[in-house]
A and B are shown apart, each in its own frame.
Chain A
């Protein structure tokens, strides 16, 4: 009414200013000035990495509109990274999958179908495969992002229902080596200590981790610790690449990829050679082991073994900036500090000898007694929000059952069968296919139906072209449950739309043994449903089609429950009360009631609600702190290493030789190729690529090249560069940067564009122990193909 455009703008300006000082103006404030209003805040976990930050989601008119950190959370202390503060924008995203989609042939177009029809088709194809090709012709491939309730129910239906251990998940690609390391060194999976050790540590040994980008909120705590105690806290960063994490480092150890095993053994050499070991700790708590049969040897044998790893010899192997003196210096800092905390991720795990690398870090902590005291720990960081809670603890891998039980042990299988009320012997004794074997089996036509949940192996498997061929086979029926189209939905027969985080209820267990609940706060779009409902309904149909009452039995306790809260709660109750009882990850105290009272969940072991309400166990194995250390005490020593994998209840120092990567550079492929992550994106970018702010911050992958290598090859910043291995090729823009060590190039892992999808180039060699692939190292050649070119980001759309 008579208001000119300029007047309107002035009113907007005035209203914006007034809102800052809480002043109401006589005219109505335009909407944009009042953006932060919400109806209610809902506490939950962040959806993205494994740190386990707690957030409050702001909901207005049934829509997620804002997010903020939870200051009382002991993980994140109120801080969020950029991905964390923006992920809520995915909830109302227009590209969400909202209805089941089906095509009989992978060459056809998808058509929309009803849930009834979709579940019928899924049950039919799995039943058909079982009848015609046997139980091991079907498989489940899950995710460290699925809720514990989801992973647990999927594996229960697969094992008890369909009688196959073909249950795997993408954590195999990221932390299987850490599991192997913890089990073989400490006898029990998952870290002994907690994030709380960060504020007590005086020496940080960060190796094979760019935590500033991959775990920004934990990095903030380490950074704060360093910046507030510049002189008394030392940060050592060991990595073939200078990364943003290196900015807080006092010492940067830069070696050629794959040579760190020699360096770690040399550090052990120095510790023993210079009398820096904690002899009493070793005598009380450690034994020495060698070989596949875990043969016990003596301390003297170990010393003799290490004689081959003098710092002089190791420096020759490591190259880069490594000198014998540097190794000695770092070993002394590590051993002498009042509390040393090691932290690592994929740089150690994604290796041909990832378990050995883990063992060698643990060795240093055992030798120096840098364990089980405040600030001292050997701490592996996890990449996904529920790799620990759901997959490691919930039985999400082919060789493990819920509650850290091994498939191959009959006694443990029987415990699970009893808890489930299914006939003894129902769970097959043989572990299923591990991830790389599973996708190889698809290539060979051995798997006729696979269910892929919440992950995109078509992009995330190493040497992915090879495995995409298998996934494209017409004789392998593929169901994919997800929230967005991905490289993997492109190869599916049946796409089922699922509810996203905060659109369903469930528990995530983060890096530090901490389980935290997220309750439903908004409705899922369209016909998207929670996975627990999908699995239950599918299992009921399977039971009919296969005429097998035991399949029905596997979901019997959950029949008829509403899927948003009662159903996941019943699943969680069964899992925790029946299957973690008497196990090292005892979660019986962490009921939904308790978890809902806690801002930041519960750390296991937590056998009772009373104990869980205090937060649980900050440090395992310490009497007086860990209730199970008292329960399992075998003597009066203050530490009790009761882990299920070590019958002698001791820590094991391993004699592990140095071993290089599977593929070394040669004349034809003279460079090392390593891959990694960037702060703005996560995994295969199907989520972060759909958030404008994050996409624009890093719209496409590039190849990082050391300036001296770039000069020798005539490559200038922005030039388009071919990166080629024996398996495949990418063409990416160059970033010339003093980051990667000379002779190595580095490419971000997230890009979906066929030209920039680096897993077409990486190698699918894997650790014989953990079966985790060596994403971090292979050989490649690089060559300039043109000057700079304008590029477009690429995200898979329907």
Chain B
């Protein structure tokens, strides 16, 4: 059963919008020394309280859909589990975060390739 996500979407937009307003008056991103090495746009303290997927549902809808429909999406394995959170966000995750659950597979793989080179990122279906 696929859950209707439209209402979620509206929530996401609104929270993002709201957070945007706040960042102007509250914590200024310019004074915030913490910047991720990832190239993620700077976020105010308030914006950091928005779950990754609430913005990325809009910002990267393809990635979101791929994840949401995947086993990871179904089993509630969320963005931050692999990518971390804002300050130490990794655009490309460490394979150590795969190994938390897939240690055996990580050890078995012989190609020297990274996991997502064969299992498409965000979907992680069996093979590309």
Contacts and interface: CB of A to CB of B under 8 A. Distances in A.
A adjacent to B, CB under 8 Å:
yes
A223 interface: yes
Interface string B1-24: 111100110110011001101100
Given A213-B76, A736-B7, A788-B14, A78 B71 contact: no
Given A696-B49, A697-B51, A736-B11, A219 B100 contact: no
B26 interface: yes
A216 B11 contact: no
Interface stretch (A63-71, A274-282, A636-644): A63-71
B38 to A, nearest CB: 12
Nearest to A252: B1
A699 B52 CA distance: 12
A698 B51 contact: yes
Nearest to A695: B49
Nearest to A706: B7
Contacts of A80: 100-101
- The CB with the most chain A CB atoms within 10 A, among B1, B48, B75, B112, is that of B75
A789 B25 CA distance: 13
Interface string B86-114: 11000000111101111110000000101
Given A246-B3, A247-B1, A790-B22, A68 B15 contact: no
A240 to B, nearest CB: 15
Nearest to A227: B71
Nearest to B50: A696
Contact of B75 (A66, A85, A212, A246): A212
B81 A736 contact: no
Interface string A246-261: 1111101000000000
A27 interface: no
A789 B21 CA distance: 10
Contact of A82 (B2, B26, B77): B77
Nearest to B86: A696
B81 A71 contact: no
A312 interface: no
Contact of A692 (B19, B78, B85): B85
Interface string A185-227: 0000000000000000000000000001100100110011001
Report whether over half of chain B's contact residues are helix, strand or loop; otherwise say mixed.
helix
A696 B84 CA distance: 11
A151 B28 CA distance: 49
Contacts of B75: 212, 216, 219-220, 223
Contact of A20 (B49, B85, B95): B95
A553 to B, nearest CB: 47
Given A36-B94, A718-B14, A697 B22 contact: no
Contacts of A679: 76, 78
A693 B84 contact: yes
Contacts of B1: 242, 246-250, 252
Interface in A74-110: 78-82, 85
A81 B103 CA distance: 14
B51 A36 contact: no
A179 B100 CA distance: 34
B112 to A, nearest CB: 6
B76 A244 contact: yes
Contacts of A212: 74-76
A713 to B, nearest CB: 15
Given A36-B96, A693-B84, A718-B11, A738 B3 contact: yes
Contacts of B74: 212, 223, 227, 244, 247-248
A82 B78 contact: yes
A696 B76 contact: no
A789 B74 CA distance: 31
Contacts of B49: 696, 699-700, 791, 793
Contacts of A735: 7-8, 11
A679 B22 CA distance: 27
A35 interface: yes
Given A78-B103, A242-B3, A737 B85 contact: no
A737 B7 contact: yes
Contacts of A707: 7
Contacts of A736: 7, 10-11
Contacts of B19: 790
Contact of B80 (A82, A252, A700, A738): A82
B41 to A, nearest CB: 16
A216 B114 CA distance: 26
Contacts of B52: 697
A728 interface: no
A68 B100 contact: yes
Contacts of A676: none
Nearest to A250: B1
A696 B80 CA distance: 10
A737 B3 CA distance: 9
B7 A68 contact: no
A21 interface: yes
Of A220, A252, A680, chain B has the most CB atoms within 10 Å of the CB of A220
Contact of A717 (B11, B81, B102): B11
Interface string A768-792: 0000000000000000000011110
A222 B22 CA distance: 42
Given A718-B15, A737-B8, A790-B19, A697 B78 contact: yes
A696 B51 contact: yes
A700 B99 CA distance: 30
A731 to B, nearest CB: 16
A64 to B, nearest CB: 14
Interface string A723-737: 000000000000111
B2 A69 contact: no
Contacts of B95: 20
Given A693-B84, A697-B80, A790-B26, A718 B94 contact: no
A691 to B, nearest CB: 9
A252 B2 CA distance: 11
Given A223-B74, A252-B1, A790 B101 contact: no
Contacts of A793: 49
Nearest to B107: A71
Contacts of B3: 242, 244, 246-247, 738-739
Contacts of A789: 18
Contacts of B46: 790
A67 B80 contact: no
Nearest to A734: B11
A35 to B, nearest CB: 7
B93 to A, nearest CB: 11
Given A246-B1, A696-B51, A736-B10, A79 B101 contact: yes
Contacts of B100: 67-69, 80, 85
Given A242-B3, A717-B14, A718-B14, A20 B77 contact: no
B76 A68 contact: no
Contacts of B76: 81-82, 212-213, 216, 219, 244, 679
Contacts of A79: 101
Nearest to B98: A68
A20 B15 CA distance: 38
Contact of B94 (A35, A69, A71, A223): A35
A45 to B, nearest CB: 15
Nearest to A216: B76
Interface in A584-642: none
Contact of B103 (A69, A692, A718): A69
Interface in B43-66: 46, 48-52
Given A78-B103, A718-B14, 11 more contacts: A20-B95, A35-B94, A35-B96, A79-B101, A82-B77, A216-B76, A244-B76, A246-B3, A247-B2, A738-B7, A790-B26
24 contacts: A21-B112, A67-B100, A68-B101, A68-B103, A81-B77, A82-B81, A85-B97, A85-B100, A216-B75, A223-B75, A242-B3, A244-B3, A244-B76, A247-B74, A693-B84, A693-B85, A696-B51, A696-B86, A699-B49, A736-B7, A788-B15, A790-B18, A790-B19, A790-B21
Please provide the 5 A-B residue pairs with the shortest distance between their CB atoms, ordered closest to farther: A717-B11, A36-B96, A718-B14, A699-B49, A790-B22
